[in-house]
Amino acid sequence: MANILVYALHYEGAINKNSLGAVSEGARLAAELGGEAHAIMLGESVPRELAASLGAYGAKKVLVAEGPEGLAQPLVDAMAKAITDGGYKYAMFGGGLLGFEIGAGLAARLGAGVVMEVTNVRVEGGELVSERPILGDSAISQVKYRSQVGIVIGRLNAFEARQTGDGEAAVEELSFELSPHASRATMVTRGEQRGADVDIEGADVLIAGGRGLGKAEGFKLAEDLAAAFGGNSAVAATRAVVDAGWYPYAAQIGQTGKTVSPKLYLAAGISGAIQHKVGMQSSENIVAINKDANAPIFEFSDLGIVGDLNKILPKLTEAVKAKKGA
């Protein structure tokens, strides 16, 4: 029986959306393997009802451990103990930096195989195969695990949170020992990334920026234009720029981001990859600015402007301001 242990990150009384996705995906895969998905939560005092609520996402059991939440090393200690004692065959994480760090630590501790940035997992011959985009997302690599324990770390938003479970999960205490080095780091403060609460799904006007903006500071041009429109306007982004850290993940549109249909979608410096298109193609009016006349985005734009966004965006902002002031 191959059981899967999924890490569930919680913050301010709620379980992180990527973790809910990982629990759902873990439950689907465990069922195919003839096993169960269990979750693990760590914290100063994890609310038991929060842990039990993971049952709705398919977790049969949730292990709750006492320790500092949000730091990787204590979680490596807790998960290594749970995996060794419980004989789990796989450990799973939703996307995010913490998962990368814990997964890497666990791999080192347990001699486990680890695959990061996973966008899909399937069962083949009673074992998991992790699929991961490589070479700038132009190819998919399929990875099987040879190790006793296999670690799957998802790409952010790759796994959809689905309420497929019934009832509450059983909650069990897990006691473990912190290794000496695990308490050398302490949490100073936790907070949401700037813009993490942007509501791009509800916006009427979206100014979306891509790699053509050149750098994080380039987003100022998009923000100025959105501010000129005022009202229900927001700034959105492509996967390439959120991965580069130029803009928050919450603003990402596309296959592994959000799906939007604003009245106006203005794409600045976005090539128009299929994975981006699926998230915005139902917008009422699509306007694209791109210096490459052959960019795919022009194939599904209502209005295309071929030129340098650094010149066009400020002029558009002035024009919108002038119109609004008129």
Ligand X SMILES: Cc1cc2nc3c(=O)[nH]c(=O)nc-3n(C[C@H](O)[C@H](O)[C@H](O)COP(=O)(O)OP(=O)(O)OC[C@H]3O[C@@H](n4cnc5c(N)ncnc54)[C@H](O)[C@@H]3O)c2cc1C
- Return d(Cα 97, Cα 102) in angstroms, integer: 9
- Return d(Cα 83, Cα 224) in angstroms, integer: 50
Tell me how far, at minimum, the Cβ of 134 lies from ligand X, in Å: 9
Tell me how far, at minimum, the Cβ of 117 lies from ligand X, in Å: 9
Instruction: Rank residues 89 and 239 by Cβ distance to ligand X and give the closer one.
Output: 239
Residue whose pair of structure tokens reads 């916006």 in the numeric block: 203
Instruction: Rank residues 112 and 313 by Cβ distance to ligand X and give the closer one.
Output: 313
- End-to-end, the C-alpha distance of the chain in Å comes to 70
Tell me how far, at minimum, the Cβ of 201 lies from ligand X, in Å: 14
Tell me the residue nearest to ligand X as measured from the CB: 254
- Return d(Cα 264, Cα 230) in angstroms, integer: 13
**What per-residue string of b and e applies to 189-215 under the rule 16 or more CB within 10 Å gives b?**
eeeeeebeebebeebebbbbbbbbbee
Interacting residues with ligand X (CB under 6 A) = 119, 133, 137, 210-212, 238-241, 252-257, 269-271, 273, 275-276, 279, 289-292, 295, 308-310
Tell me how far, at minimum, the Cβ of 160 lies from ligand X, in Å: 13
Tell me how far, at minimum, the Cβ of 239 lies from ligand X, in Å: 3
- Return d(Cα 22, Cα 9) in angstroms, integer: 11
Instruction: Rank residues 72 and 206 by Cβ distance to ligand X and give the closer one.
Output: 206
Instruction: Rank residues 58 and 133 by Cβ distance to ligand X and give the closer one.
Output: 133
Instruction: Rank residues 210 and 262 by Cβ distance to ligand X and give the closer one.
Output: 210
